[in-house]
Amino acid sequence: MKSIRAVFAATIISLFCFGLANAQNKSVEDQRPRNIELNGVRLASVLAALAADYKVTIGLEADPAKPESMIDMHLRAVVFRQILDGLVQAEPLYKWRENNGAVDVLPVGGGLLDANIPAFEVKDVNRAVAISRLFGLPEVRELMTANHLRSRPPSPPSDRSKDERLSFDLRGVTVRQALNQIAHDSGANVWVFRSYSDGTYEVTMGCC
């Protein structure tokens, strides 16, 4: 039986960095048992480790009242669904759900990112450009403006992501589903949307 054990966030991050698969599968149905020992680990770091270990895309829309959550969780012989259930029990601000092969983690009261967009198309761009174009769509700009949010300056892209060539044409999806697509196709497999009390927001993709 494999164990996922972490006392510090660095341990979780090291699990994430083992590697990522570029394919959606039925990881939510994975029945491999795990032991989980988490003490004060960031929720986003836990999700990044799970995304790597189970080879599934996970998106986190952080609760604006608490952009960072620390997790304490101690579970024995649990499968993937039970781990996710344990996470939202440990931090009851959140719920999780399946979304076309990905896993969404979002505030229990709902999130901003379920807003629909009629079309989103990119060709031969990296993840940073894809995110920028997504949040530059008129519908998404209006959504952020209506919620009094403005973008924080993005971090410089990594050397790896600079060489990405993402291309897709999405129709009738949500902002969340578009982020899932970017994360999946780039191999990042995890993304986080955070909004802050100063009226700014940011999107991070990859390790968290």
Q: What is the pLDDT of residues 77-97, one digit of tens each?
A: 999 999 999 999 999 999 999
**Which pLDDT does position 98 carry in this prediction?**
95
**Which pLDDT does position 154 carry in this prediction?**
76
Q: Which of 85, 107, 129 is the last residue of a domain?
A: 107
Same domain, 97 and 143: no
Q: What is the pTM of this model?
A: 0.84
Structure tokens at 123: 């060709």
CATH (domain of 61)? 3.55.50.30
Same domain, 42 and 123: no
**pLDDT class of 27 with cuts at 50, 70, 90:** low
Q: Looking at the predicted structure, is the pLDDT value of residue 26 above 70?
A: no
AA letter at 195: S
Name the residue among 75, 102, 76, 101 with its Cα closest to residue 88. Answer: 75
Using CB atoms within 10 Å of the CB of residue 106, give its burial: 0 to 12 exposed, 13 to 18 middle, 19+ buried: buried
Q: How many domains does the chain have?
A: 2
Q: Looking at the predicted structure, is the pLDDT value of residue 207 above 80?
A: no
HEC secondary structure over 107-166: ECCCCHHHCEEEEEEEEEECHHHHHHHHHHCHHHHHHHHHCCCEECCCCCCCHHHHCCCE
Full domain range(s) for residue 151 = 112-205
**Higher-confidence position of 147 and 19:** 147
Q: What mean pLDDT is predicted for residues 28-55?
A: 90
CA dihedral sign of residues 172, 178, 180, 183: positive
**Which pLDDT does position 191 carry in this prediction?**
97
Same domain, 87 and 117: no
Q: Which of 107, 137, 155 is the last residue of a domain?
A: 107
